[in-house]
Structure 1
Amino acid sequence: MLLLAFAALLLVVFAVARARQRAQLREGTLLVAAVVFAALGVLQLLVQSDPDAAATTVRVVAVATPVIVLVLAVFLITNGITMLRLEGRSLANLLSLIAGVGLLVFPLLLLALLAWGGFGGFVVAAGVVLVAGYAAAAFVAFLVSSLLYAALPAPRRPRAIVVLGSGLIRGEVPPLLRGRLDRAIAAWRRAVRAGGAAPVLVPSGGQGPDEPRPEGEAMAEYLRDQGIPGDLIRPETRSLNTRENLEFSRVIVDGIDGGGPVLIVTSDYHMLRAGLLARRRIPRARVVGARTAAYFVPSAFLREYVALLARQRWMHVVFALVFGATLVSVYAAIFLV
């Protein structure tokens, strides 16, 4: 019952965090942890009341897990090949392919470590399982947090709409960036229909080394071509990454009259990380995402996940150790007590 009680406590904490309506990784972590502890609590009750049913449940999970991993690996490899064919060769575009191959190689690595023999091989194999398990749990928590943040309502009458840049192709707006701009235009038109002052649009993006002009300039041109009045477009053309997008856009936003909220538009896979960065740079802003081509989503989410891990790497080292200690404790509570 202790595991079920802990799951209930996690759900209460999740509800409190959810009520704040902001970008938070903790929401997904709390919800996933609550579901896992609830499942483990049910398993514990089965072990105590019906050992045969518990053994059957464990066998089903043991058989289903490699099948699920195999299907996921094939999907990721296929997606990775599609990414290389449609988007070109780069590390970011290789992520889903690398992840798929890694899922296939992982069991072979474990078998090799166990065949190495001795206590040392077992310890290394256990460490590999711990790291892989934590990485998988953290990725699921990241996905759930992203979905929860995407489900929050967006302001209908913002005073400003900031559009984050994503790179030009031969100086022109490519489909990915066009999707962000179209989402911003739809929000702008909805705000105009709602009445009051029309929002100011802030297309944000500087000039990369392979770009003939700043992204903000090309984005502003696209907005004007779509019928947005030029006096309501204030491009930001110095930023080179998301953090700078937000910091430099805030200077423009702070100069806009009115007390309404700020809406930030990016791609759906980028929403959570943009929201986390915006919390300190444009407080109380809400980030919304434009839809991305389906084939692009797996690699894009993996890239965002890796970026978040790198940004908080030492925190994740501590969490991985806590994760391992928790697994050992739960195993002991279910099967050894």
Structure 2
Amino acid sequence: MLRNGVLLLAGVAFSLVGVVELLWHLLGEVEATAWVTGYTSPLALAVLAGLVVLPVGFIALVVFLLINGVTMLRREGRSPANLLSLVVGVALLLAPVVFIWLFISDTAVGVSLAVLVFFGLGYLSACFVVILVYAWVYGRAAAKQVPQAIIILGAQIIEGQVPPLLRSRLDKAIGVYRQTVEAGHPAPLMIPSGGQGPDESRPEGEAMAEYLQSQGIPAEDVVAEMQAVNTEQNLKFSVALQQETERTGPAVIVTNNYHALRAALLARRLKLDAEAVGAKTAFYYVPSAFLREYIAVMVGHKILHAVLFAPFLLLAAGIFGLWVLYDT
């Protein structure tokens, strides 16, 4: 549940405040801080630190996204998905300029839009941090149940073969399979899932099944799903295949760490008895991939976010109305 991400981030934030409070009382009041802020309290120190950290962090994020965007173009090609981190970096770079330009326009429309840009960017940033922290934690969690099936989500294959990104998912699934068997439990059913894309020579599920068997997984423990074209279909079609066998029960969904949270959210919405685990991903690939996941999670909860953002829309509309009323 996304609310767990909010609670997690709140817990981290309050814990940091608690640590600052303890250090403040242990080390005593710092006269330099009192001179700078005019207050001798941990809250003043936290505010001062925030005023320094936030702009520096924003600039660092923009630079990182721009560099990562260039790296993605060089290593992965010029597809729209690979351009995402570069586009977001440029957008963040332009956002303060657009805000200032609108705010100093001294018009009802300009100031109202500036307020909307300010709160819109703040809201999206807060959601991004919540999802980022929650996804980072969830993607490193281990499965809690003994799986009767392991569903491996597909990804694009290259020249009919499994590329490194997809291989990491398959290797993670093999590790879960062997741990289950070595613990004395029945061998789970391996379900590699993925259809054939327009730029693929064969279904992803077929290539994945071939790889699993080449790594020593018995053929009788592998059933390929070869029709799914997205994550939701991966889950639905794979569970349907599992239910056709005798190995019904809890399932583990294996994907990359940046994708594990969204896979778990989908499984919960579909009311599946399944949990997701994440495989390691090349560091340079994570920012662009996570941005896609962030957008997908936001779109998947669009009604909730529309309701939560409605007060800011009303605020901008109120400023516009008061401005026009004052001018007339």
For the structure 1 residues 282 and 201, does the alpha-carbon distance in structure 2 shift closer, same or farther, using more than 3 Å as the test? Answer: farther
* 2:25 paired with 1:25: no
What CA distance in whole angstroms lies between the structure 1 residues aligned with 2:58 and 2:81? Answer: 22
Unaligned 5+ segments in structure 1 are 1-23, 44-49, 327-337
For the structure 1 residues 130 and 36, does the alpha-carbon distance in structure 2 shift closer, same or farther, using more than 3 Å as the test? Answer: farther
Alignment match of 2:52 (pick from 63, 75, 84): 63
Identify the residue that residue 38 of structure 2 maps to in structure 1.
52
Q: Is the 8 A contact 1:207 1:238 kept in 2?
A: yes
Alignment match of 1:300 (pick from 289, 302, 319): 289
What CA distance in whole angstroms lies between the structure 2 residues aligned with 1:119 and 1:60? Answer: 34
1:223-242 map, 5 Å: 223-242=212-231
What CA distance in whole angstroms lies between the structure 1 residues aligned with 2:162 and 2:248? Answer: 31
Q: Return the offset for 1:163.
A: 0.6
Q: Which deviations, in whole Å up to 9, do the C-alpha atoms of 1:265-319 show, x marking residues without a partner?
A: 0111110111111124462211111111000001111100111122222321211
Question: Higher mean Cα deviation, 116-125 or 99-108?
Answer: 116-125
Q: Is the 8 A contact 1:130 1:324 kept in 2?
A: no
* 2:158 paired with 1:169: yes
Alignment match of 2:172 (pick from 155, 163, 183): 183
What CA distance in whole angstroms lies between the structure 2 residues aligned with 1:40 and 1:325? Answer: 32
For the structure 1 residues 275 and 56, does the alpha-carbon distance in structure 2 shift closer, same or farther, using more than 3 Å as the test? Answer: closer
Instruction: Please state whether the residue corresponding to 2:104 is helix, strand or coil.
Output: helix
Alignment match of 2:233 (pick from 235, 244, 254): 244
Q: Return the offset for 1:185.
A: 0.7
Instruction: Please state whether the residue corresponding to 2:112 is helix, strand or coil.
Output: helix
Unaligned 5+ segments in structure 2 are 22-33, 316-328
Q: Return the offset for 1:174.
A: 0.8
Alignment match of 2:105 (pick from 88, 94, 116): 116
Q: Which deviations, in whole Å up to 9, do the C-alpha atoms of 1:30-79 show, x marking residues without a partner?
A: 33346668999999xxxxxx972366654543333222111111011001
Identify the residue that residue 18 of structure 1 maps to in structure 2.
none
Identify the residue that residue 279 of structure 1 maps to in structure 2.
268
What CA distance in whole angstroms lies between the structure 2 residues aligned with 1:222 and 1:199? Answer: 17
Identify the residue that residue 263 of structure 1 maps to in structure 2.
252
Alignment match of 2:206 (pick from 208, 217, 220): 217
Q: Is the 8 A contact 2:252 2:277 kept in 1?
A: yes
Q: Return the offset for 1:150.
A: 3.1
Instruction: Please state whether the residue corresponding to 2:258 is helix, strand or coil.
Output: helix
Q: Is the 8 A contact 2:136 2:257 kept in 1?
A: no
Q: Return the offset for 1:149.
A: 2.5
Identify the residue that residue 83 of structure 1 maps to in structure 2.
72
What CA distance in whole angstroms lies between the structure 2 residues aligned with 1:136 and 1:155? Answer: 31
Q: Is the 8 A contact 1:206 1:236 kept in 2?
A: yes
What CA distance in whole angstroms lies between the structure 1 residues aligned with 2:245 and 2:212? Answer: 19
Q: Return the offset for 1:94.
A: 1.2
For the structure 1 residues 57 and 187, does the alpha-carbon distance in structure 2 shift closer, same or farther, using more than 3 Å as the test? Answer: closer
What CA distance in whole angstroms lies between the structure 2 residues aligned with 1:211 and 1:83? Answer: 21
What CA distance in whole angstroms lies between the structure 2 residues aligned with 1:28 and 1:232? Answer: 36
For the structure 1 residues 325 and 151, does the alpha-carbon distance in structure 2 shift closer, same or farther, using more than 3 Å as the test? Answer: farther
Aligned residues: 297
Identify the residue that residue 130 of structure 1 maps to in structure 2.
119
Q: Is the 8 A contact 1:155 1:261 kept in 2?
A: no
Q: Which deviations, in whole Å up to 9, do the C-alpha atoms of 1:103-135 show, x marking residues without a partner?
A: 211111122112212454332211101100000
TM-score (norm 2): 0.83
* 2:117 paired with 1:140: no
Q: Is the 8 A contact 2:152 2:169 kept in 1?
A: yes
